[in-house]
Amino acid sequence: MASKAIVLITGANRGIGFGVARRLVREHPNYHVIIGSRDATQGREAASTLLAEEASSSPSISSVELDVTSDTSISAAKQTIEKEHGRLDVLINNAGIALDVKEKGKISLREMMQRTYDVNVFGASVVTDTFIPLLEKSDNPRIVFVSSSLGSLTFAADTKSQFSKEQFLAYKSSKTALNMVMLAYNSTLREKGFKVNAACPGYIATNLNSFYGTGTVEEGSENVVRLATLGKDGETGTFTAKDGPRPW
């Protein structure tokens, strides 16, 4: 029997990350899902919840403590996964924060920008760089960056677009930067057979936006899982949503 594909999802103890884990467990039983969580207890609880929900199918799930703002935590998570699995097939950079609404007026713009970029951009970059050696051991390595249409420069420049009217400076610009991070990694990894893509999950009601989104976590997970399970002939270097390509 072929071994299961190993997938790590950062920030997966709740929200879209948890929804992605649930969809993978339900639709792709040939995957072992690792829930990355800054809080180890919350990660274990999320894994236990999925194990209970899908008990009849004997799902393959575990969790690992992973704080994307800590190089020490990232390295420790890499060592744990290497020891337990020897490789990584899929990395989903899902961990993210949006402080523009929750913290506006409570913290300085500098602090808001620094904290947002530390998670959304720096964290995703360091996690990716750290796990590349394990991904290189896969025969079909895939990396998915969970981005947002709010990061589209094309939409932002279009005064008729709904996205140009949102003034979430820290969050929007961090997702623009994340798209560049994705493209930079794609340019260096595609020749090694990697599939590196960015996914917009949509305006999803999660803790990230105080549950003001119009879509469900289930809807938001669809395109992320599609990109995470691409075959060797799949796309790379793309920015897409459930309904198709998004402009840069």
- pLDDT tens for 212-236 read 545 777 888 999 999 999 999 999 9
Question: Which residue type is seen at 171?
Answer: Y
Q: What is the mean pLDDT of the chain?
A: 93
- The CATH architecture annotation of domain 5-245 reads 3-Layer(aba) Sandwich (3.40)
> What pLDDT score does 209 carry?
45
Q: Among all residues, which ones are annotated catalytic?
A: 148, 171, 175
Span 16-54, pLDDT tens digits:
999 999 999 999 999 999 999 999 999 999 999 999 998
User: 56: pLDDT confidence band, cut at 50, 70 and 90?
Assistant: confident
* CA angle centred on 22, ends 16 and 24, rounded to 5°: 105
User: Model pTM?
Assistant: 0.94
For residue 111, the one-letter residue type is E
Predicted pLDDT of residue 130: 99
Which position has the token pair 């071994």?
3
Domain definitions of the chain by residue range: 5-245
